[in-house]
Structure 1
Amino acid sequence: MNAKYDDIGVNYNATRKADDYLVKRLLANLNPKSYGLYLDIGCGTGNYTIKLQENGFNFIGVDPSTEMLEKAKLNNPNIDWKLGQAEYLNLNSESIDGIIGSLTIHHWKDLEKGFKELHRVLKNDSNLVIFTSTPKQMTGYWLNHYFPKMMKDSMLQMPALKAIKKIIKQTGFRSIKTELYNIKPDLKDLFLYSGKHNPILYLNPKVRHGISSFSSLANAKEVETGMIQLKDDIATRKINDIIKSYENDLGDYLFIIAKK
């Protein structure tokens, strides 16, 4: 995983920018206090860490990729950036007032160890906010039409919501709730389904490079074939019918909020 994200980290900031709406919802669900110390686990290049800190809150950013953290330090040298991973945090017990994790849990090696460790470093009555997608939600992405194997492989590495909730409860968290998120047309953070309303985004190799499913999981031949078909369907507007056929009420992603 480290090597994968060291590679993706090159030019990552060109397409993966903090989205204002997601920042707003992260803050609302985290409910931080100005005097607290907060953790962004799997912070990557720190785009969300920095935006959250700019809102007046003190954050630590932790990531297993040295390439990502180097970019983060260049973007803001005043934040405490730490090399580490969810399962092994070099932080004192009950030293953190809240934790966010955006599009990260599918990269953890051991979910139970990860949530146990996050529980250990959290103070009592503090919130954990995870932003992720589930395999069930991903079945509703129209990307399945063009890249079936890539999407199948992506879904295989995504933990199901039922499993996440079970592990969160087992590791001591309580009052778990969820909030569905649907892709906004003006989304700035170009992650996997960011092109839901704007398929032409996927024709840009820089966008695909910043998405782990395309850059690490996808079969090159399938991507090449799928891109040719996608380009043709955009030109003929057939893409509109395909997008419509995948409409659903599952939500594209979701926030999972738990309290210690």
Structure 2
Amino acid sequence: MMALYDSIGTGYDSTRRADPYLATRLTAHLEIAQAAAYLDMACGTGNYTTVVSRNGGQWHGVDLSRRMLTTAQGKGSSVQWYQADAAALPFPAGLFSGIMCTLALHHLPALTPAFQEVRRVLGSGTFVILTSTAEQMRGYWLNEYFPVAMERSIQQMPALDLIQGSLKEAGFTAVNLETYGVTEDLQDLFLYSGKQRPEIYLEPNFRKGISTFASLADGDEVENGLRLLEQDIRSGRITQVMRRFENTGGDYLFLIAR
């Protein structure tokens, strides 16, 4: 798992950056107070940590990948960075007034131990998760072109009831949900960021920053899928494919737990 983190971390920020809208929603859900302490768990290269920290608070970021953290440390913010396992956070009980975890649940070996640690170090504030769910991913039109890779990715992504059950088991008593639908101006180029811009999947550098393509996809399937996708873009058939996968369940999801 460490090798995966470090592999994806190479050149990660060439396509991944904090999206202003998503950063604004994270900030709003955390209800940041200037003098309080906050944590970004599984912070990666610190894109969202750095941006959200500008709204106040004393920020800490934790990730398992040294390469990711090295990139984060070079961003010149006041955030304190730690290399640690999410299931063994190096902080005293009740230290934080808010904790966030952004697009990282699928990298956690088990949810409940990590959520129990979050509950331990969180005071009376909120735990804000931004993720996709297995159910939402089945509605991605990427399934048309990369079915095996997407199935592997879906198997890694926890279902909504599992996330909610693990939060409850960890001691959270209230969980609110807010769905997010990908827009054409999304700036953070994660897996389904090309929902309305299918041509970006043809770019190797874009795919390199996404674990589904970087670690789960078979080369032949990617090659064949890209060939079909390019044909469909040229012919216009992609519009029919995208329309067929339209749904009302959102593409990603905020969970706000207390």
Whole-Å Cα distance in 1 between the matches of residues 205 and 187 of structure 2? 14
> 5 Å matches for 1:69-88?
69-76=69-76, 78-88=78-88
Quote the sequence identity (%). 45
Query: 1:63 and 1:77, CA in 2 relative to 1: closer, same or farther beyond 3 A?
Result: same
Whole-Å Cα distance in 2 between the matches of residues 42 and 16 of structure 1? 15
Q: Do structure 1's residue 129 and structure 2's residue 128 form an aligned pair?
A: yes
**SS of the residue 1:88 aligns to:** coil
Structure 2 match to 1:153:
152
Asked whether the 8 Å contact 1:203–1:231 carries over to 2, the reply is: yes
What is the CA distance between 1:221 and its match in structure 2? 0.7
**SS of the residue 2:87 aligns to:** coil
The aligned amino acid for 2:94 is E
> 5 Å matches for 1:41-80?
41-76=41-76, 78-80=78-80
Structure 2 match to 1:23:
23
What is the CA distance between 1:77 and its match in structure 2? 5.4
Whole-Å Cα distance in 1 between the matches of residues 107 and 253 of structure 2? 17
Unmatched segments (≥5 aa) in structure 2: none
Asked whether the 8 Å contact 1:41–1:85 carries over to 2, the reply is: no
Unmatched segments (≥5 aa) in structure 1: none
Structure 2 match to 1:169:
168
Structure 1 match to 2:208:
209
Whole-Å Cα distance in 2 between the matches of residues 18 and 57 of structure 1? 18
The aligned amino acid for 1:251 is G
Structure 2 match to 1:221:
220
Q: 70-79 vs 142-151, which deviates more?
A: 70-79
**How many equivalent residue pairs?**
258
What is the CA distance between 1:85 and its match in structure 2? 2.2
**SS of the residue 2:152 aligns to:** helix
Query: What TM-score do the two structures reach when normalised by structure 2?
Result: 0.98
Structure 2 match to 1:114:
114
What is the CA distance between 1:170 and its match in structure 2? 1.3
What is the CA distance between 1:2 and its match in structure 2? 1.5
The aligned amino acid for 2:71 is K
The aligned amino acid for 1:185 is E
**SS of the residue 2:139 aligns to:** coil
Structure 2 match to 1:194:
193
Structure 2 match to 1:32:
32
Structure 2 match to 1:10:
10
Whole-Å Cα distance in 1 between the matches of residues 168 and 76 of structure 2? 35
**SS of the residue 2:10 aligns to:** coil
Query: What TM-score do the two structures reach when normalised by structure 1?
Result: 0.97
What is the CA distance between 1:19 and its match in structure 2? 0.1
Whole-Å Cα distance in 2 between the matches of residues 166 and 141 of structure 1? 24
The aligned amino acid for 1:68 is M
What is the CA distance between 1:175 and its match in structure 2? 1.3
Whole-Å Cα distance in 1 between the matches of residues 112 and 78 of structure 2? 32
Structure 2 match to 1:139:
138
Asked whether the 8 Å contact 2:50–2:77 carries over to 1, the reply is: no
Q: 71-80 vs 226-235, which deviates more?
A: 71-80
The aligned amino acid for 2:222 is V
What is the CA distance between 1:56 and its match in structure 2? 2.4
Whole-Å Cα distance in 1 between the matches of residues 72 and 5 of structure 2? 13
Asked whether the 8 Å contact 1:17–1:189 carries over to 2, the reply is: yes
**SS of the residue 1:127 aligns to:** strand
Q: Deviations over 1:130-158 (max 9, x none)?
A: 00011111111000000000110011011
What is the CA distance between 1:79 and its match in structure 2? 1.7
Whole-Å Cα distance in 1 between the matches of residues 99 and 78 of structure 2? 19
Q: Deviations over 1:11-32 (max 9, x none)?
A: 1111000000000111111111
The aligned amino acid for 1:15 is T
What is the CA distance between 1:55 and its match in structure 2? 2.1
**SS of the residue 2:74 aligns to:** helix
Q: Do structure 1's residue 91 and structure 2's residue 91 form an aligned pair?
A: yes
The aligned amino acid for 1:11 is G
